[in-house]
Amino acid sequence: MPYLELKNVSKHFGRLAAVEEVNLQVGKGEILGIVGPNGSGKTTLINLISGYYRPTKGTIYFNGKKISGLRPDKIAELGIIRTFQSNVLYEGTTVVESMLISSYQQYSTNNWQSFLETKAWKDDNEKAVGRVIELVKLLDLLNDTFLPAEGLSHGYQRMLGIAMAMIANPQVLLLDEPTTGMNHEEAMFVVDKIKLLSEQGVTVILIEHNMKVLLNVATRVVCLSFGNKIADGIPEEVMNEKEVIEAYLGTEIL
């Protein structure tokens, strides 16, 4: 049984088929790269898995359970957490506050215990703060901990997005172009963290345009073109396939 499975999944916007009849199986612990020219349906695919859109046709399974049709918060609760292509933040909060809001869903204590400030809640809270500090250090956000989220530079906002996803304890992490607008060093820093997560058993699906990053981190690559899956396999092979090159060339000519 595959860990995450898409069966004949399509998403149509009116007459436009953003994702068309995609079949995809992802194993636990894999790092799957998704490539494809602009507008080929990569983000839509993540939106489908995370529940932002419902598939027009087809079904998505996670751990043998059907998840297509569930609300995004239900899917997140199951451990599928995504980041966004643009910097999506809790504007007006600081870095720690953003991370705490994200971490609240992981507490074992409930809202009443928090309201009454019981011992169990305080213990839980202490653990969460510990986790926040750990992640803030891991993602090099330590100097910015008390800065407002929207005041960070672009690269650090991307880092904060990843940190907020990580604190939600993902089983499957969906990253939508995590390294856009980053220089080589920063991108490699992110690659390191992705590898670290993978070692901890987290399944990662990432959309990536940067070939260096992709070849470095992905264990498998899927290529989309006009919503269709046109290639699926080992990174080096997929990137040399005729169809993939043509798909990319096609867009460059346009």
Partner 1 sequence: MRYFFKTIHLIDYKNIVPKTVIGLFIILILLIPVFTRNVVTLSTLIMTGIWAVAAMGFTLVLRTGQFSLGQSAFMALGGYASAILTAQMGLPFWPSFLVSGLVSGLIALLVGMVVLRVGGIYFSIITLALGEIVRIIALQWEPLTRGSRGIIASAPPPIILGGHELVNFNASLAPYFYFMICLVAVTGLVFWRIGESRLGRTFAGTALNPVLAEHQGIYLMKYRVIAFTVAGVFTGYAGALYTHFLQVITPMVFGLWQSIQIMIMSIVGGIGSLVGGPIVGSILLYNLGEYLSRLDTPGLQSFLFGSVVVIVVMFLPQGAGLVNLWERFWNKVVWREEEYEPDEPED
Ligand X SMILES: Nc1ncnc2c1ncn2[C@@H]1O[C@H](COP(=O)(O)OP(=O)(O)OP(=O)(O)O)[C@@H](O)[C@H]1O
Query: Which chain residues interact with partner 1 by CB under 8 A?
Result: 50, 52, 71-74, 76-77, 81-82, 84, 88-93, 97, 100-102, 104-105, 107, 111, 114-117, 121, 147-148, 150-155, 164, 168, 181
Least distance to partner 1 from the beta carbon of 228, Å?
26
Q: Tell me which of 9, 40, 51, 225 binds ligand X, using CB under 6 A.
A: 40
| The one-letter amino acid at 253 | I
Two tokens at 189?
A: 């820093």
Does 160 engage in binding with ligand X (CB under 6 A)? no
Least distance to Mg ion from the beta carbon of 41, Å?
8
Q: How far apart are CA 110 and CA 113, in angstroms?
A: 5
Q: How big is the site for ligand X, counted in residues (CB under 6 A)?
A: 12
Does 41 engage in binding with ligand X (CB under 6 A)? yes
- Matching residue, tokens 């019981």: 118
Q: How far apart are CA 118 and CA 74, in angstroms?
A: 27
Least distance to partner 1 from the beta carbon of 238, Å?
28
Does 85 engage in binding with ligand X (CB under 6 A)? yes
Residue 155 binds which of ligand X, partner 1, Mg ion, none (CB < 5-8 A, kind-dependent)? partner 1
Instruction: CB nearer to Mg ion: give 161 or 167.
Output: 161
Least distance to partner 1 from the beta carbon of 52, Å?
7
Two tokens at 170?
A: 């993902």
Written as one string, the DSSP assignment of 71-134 is -HHHHHHTTEEE--SS----TTSBHHHHHHHHHGGG-SS-HHHHHTT-HHHHHHHHHHHHHHHH
**Given the rule CB under 6 A, which of 39-47, 105-113, 161-169, 240-248 is the region that contacts ligand X?**
39-47
Three-state SS at 248:
helix
Does 18 engage in binding with ligand X (CB under 6 A)? yes
φ, ψ (nearest 5 deg) of residue 128: -65, -45
Instruction: Give the pairing of strands 16-26 and 31-35.
Output: unpaired
The footprint of ligand X (CB under 6 A) covers: 13, 16, 18, 36, 38-44, 85
